[in-house]
Amino acid sequence: MVVRRRGAPKPHRFTENPLLQLALPGWRSRFTGLALLLLLLALVGRSFYLQVINNEFLQDKGESRYRRDMEVPASRGKILDRNGELLAVSTPVKSIWAIPGDAKLDPGQAKALATLLEMDVKELNRRLATDKNFTYLHRQIPPDVAQRIAALKLPGIHQDQEFRRFYPAGDMVAHIVGFTGLDGKGLEGVELAFQQDLMGRSGSRSVIRDRRGQIVEDVGGMRPPQDGKDIRLSMDSKIQYLAFSAIKQAAIENKAKAGGAVVVDARTGEVLALANWPSYNPNNRASLTGPQLRNRAVTDSFEPGSTMKPFTVALSLERAKVRFDTVIDCAPGRITIGTATISDAHPHGALTVAQVLQKSSNVGTVKMALNFPPKEMWEMFDSLGFGTPPSLGFPGEVGGRLRPWKSWRPIEQATMSYGHGISVSLIQLARSYLVFARDGDLLPLSLQAQEGLPPRGVQIFSPQTVREVRTMMEMVVGPGGTAPQAHVPGYRVGGKTGTALKLEGGVYAKKYVASFVGIAPMSDPRIIVAVMLDEPSAGKHYGGDVAGPVFSKIVLGTLRNMGVAPDAPVQVAGGLNQGGQL
């Protein structure tokens, strides 16, 4: 029993100690409790919103740690010639890539990998030392090399499949077909012109990958790729080979800066061959230069010279200014207009209109041209497509130069009648001669093989005018003409030579462009062949001497390849021909 003394303080239990009594007002504790309850409700609501109502964000973030959408590349469409010969095809190859953080290679492994990739070891180590999560080591390597790399089982080194473009015909078709870049997109030629049709559409594949880049499993659906469409060109590989070989040989023999040849089907407007020299191998473009890449037949323009004279003659016949046998006085071999004098290469006296074209008289051509108002000549040139790109779809197509007729001076009208003061591309020139190979109508050119009937042409000259001009063009390759070397054994052919000085800095230099454009066979025209040699410097520079033999070689091979029967006697031993004539 505890005895408490009188006057001593009353004892308290521990929980009733005054030091533990709440010193704050009661409303504050209630407020704090309510605030904590509201925060808890907010957290619960936010959690419910993220996990139930709007959970896509967190799911996407989670999946991004392990899920990948891989591109499944589409195979680029093939490019074929008119007979189905392969000109461009995509072959499967491998790309080698690395996750630098995982690619811990010892010196021996690094050396082995660098050797297979044909890389310097220092360059390989530099790429692997990056802080990026991904880096390409080499792209488009052959499958057998990729297999040897895979056999090394190197950490952090991976492979993906892609496609590489292969061009079986090499430099022969380089300027028509063109080439693609590492990403598979067309950069030149048909590869660029028909990019949308050829490329197709890539597919996709959703997979789960571990941190080492290895595929664990497929998830979700797969969208299959849509391969590109095949393109069948109008070009014939055999005719292309003939044209390419002939222009290459001629350019080398005549020490020409460059050369080009175009073959067009007279019945359809299809381009059967388009060759340039110099050329390049599209399978190996390591040391390409600008001159090699230029598709000169399409992208370069030049003054065509006397190859324009048939059009001036045709216009004169069409407008009844002259007849086939009208005599024109070309003496003394020159004509003065203002302060300028135009001369013939060889002086002539009186010539018929047919002889003016046969002997390529500048004086006779000028006298015919000056019978027309400038507008009428300009309208003829314009209707033939001069001054306008040919719309083949080739990159860099040029329209040449055809100045507005209102600014023509008499001397300009005179010089344009024989191909000076106007510029064209070789493909334009070849197309314009369709009017002489046909019944005076002009067709559009086509790079793709046509099916069915060709498009309707635009009538430029009457059939009668065309027949008369064809007769004159046949005289050009005969005795007394300017191009006897363009003669083709067994076939009647005709055409026109061109020899023009080059403009450099606004002044004509002592450099020439030699050309010849012709038709074969004359009894039933099937092809137009246009040939150009830039700056021949081996002693000859006239179109008949330099370009004429190329025309002859291409025509002979082409007509035989097409199965066209000869339409002229062939010279045999003893001076007799198949027709029994001397």
What amino acid positions are annotated as catalytic residues?
306
Other Cβ atoms closer than 10 A to 488: 22
Pair 280, 390: CB distance under 8 Å: no
- How far lies 23's CA from each of 15, 27, 102, 513, 514, in Å? 15, 12, 62, 110, 113
Distance, in Å, from the CA atom of 523 to the CA atom of 437, rounded to the nearest integer, reads 10
* Residues ≥6 apart with Cβ < 8 Å to 136: 95, 96, 97
Closest CA to 441 of 425, 456, 426: 456
Distance, in Å, from the CA atom of 466 to the CA atom of 407, rounded to the nearest integer, reads 30
* Residues ≥6 apart with Cβ < 8 Å to 268: 234, 443, 446, 450, 454
Write the DSSP assignment of 506-562 as a string of letters.
TEEEEEEEEEEEEEE-TTS--EEEEEEEES--SS---HHHHTHHHHHHHHHHHHHHH
* Core vs surface per residue 514-545: b (16+ CB within 10 A) or e: bbbbbbbbbeebbbbbbbbbbbbeeeebbbbb
Other Cβ atoms closer than 10 A to 153: 8
Task: For residue 467, give the DSSP letter.
Answer: H
Strand-pair category, 67-72 with 258-265: unpaired
Closest CA to 191 of 201, 182, 199, 183: 199
Pair 325, 471: CB distance under 8 Å: no
Helix, strand, or coil here: 132? coil
Distance, in Å, from the CA atom of 270 to the CA atom of 241, rounded to the nearest integer, reads 17
H and E: helices and strands count for the chain: 21, 21
